[in-house]
Structure 1
Amino acid sequence: MKKTKGQIEAEISEAIIKFEKEYMGRGPLEAKTYIVDDLVLVRLKGVLTKAEYQLANPVDIANGRTLIKQMRIALLEKGRPLLEAVVESITNQKTISLHTDISTRTGEKVVLFTLDSPPKLE
């Protein structure tokens, strides 16, 4: 059964929130997914912990932001197979690549999946 673009986007947002809670230990305050052709962009708000915000303060430690980004990227890389499998099962398309970045100022994170072709929509 084919799904609408909105249904796929909502399912991916829910799956990413679940992944963040179960795998990263804390979920985002908000998640929104956008499908554009063969790209799936997930925008997460409020992903940093209070401790990470403290570490990101450049007055306290010069490399705090770098440490946060390195740790978060390493954790995501370990969970990459899980994330790719979830997106593939929802979109019925193979994941070609995954890219991510996090803002230590705003606590916003983006995850971009490239699919082998656009999802088949209703």
Structure 2
Amino acid sequence: MADDEASTARDSMTSAISNHVVQLTREYTGRGPTKARTYLNQDLVTVVMQDALTRAEHHLIDDDGEALVLRTRRAYQDTMRARLIEGIEQLTSRRVLAFLSANSIAPDYSIESFILEGAP
């Protein structure tokens, strides 16, 4: 495969992965992030999302509910886990060995990472 073709295929895959994660986040939380970018490196896929907190979550944070928002976000990610992994496996044609997830309130970022089995 020529370099241009490989780059286009990679860009297409990272875009599809970002869309998959954003769509599931929107489906489960009622609001998706305004920005998302996927990084693909050998056996690691990481999706960095920005500006995903809902209006209700912002109100909870303003009322000292940051810990509650983080616990709720963790619960969303645990609930989405199987569907996130299924989509990543379909898009990459590789098995996901581990799924890791984290959130930050200020600034509003979240990360979904997938460790893949086998060679790319």
Q: CA deviation at 1:26?
A: 1.0
Residue 50, structure 1, aligned to residue 55, structure 2: yes
Amino acid at match of 1:35: L
Q: Separation in 2 of the partners of 1:27 and 1:118?
A: 31
The TM-score with structure 2 as length reference comes to 0.87
The TM-score with structure 1 as length reference comes to 0.86
Greater relative contact order structure (CA < 8 Å, 6+ sep): 1
- Equivalenced residue count is 114
In structure 1, runs of 5+ residues without a counterpart are: none
In structure 2, runs of 5+ residues without a counterpart are: 1-5
Deviations 1:77-119 (A, max 9, x none): 1111000000000000000111111111121111111111343
Q: CA RMSD in A?
A: 1.6
Deviations 1:19-74 (A, max 9, x none): 111122111101100001100000111100122123223xx32xx21111111111
Q: Separation in 2 of the partners of 1:24 and 1:80?
A: 14
Percentage identity across paired residues of the two chains: 29
Relative to its length, the structure with more helix (as a share) is: 2
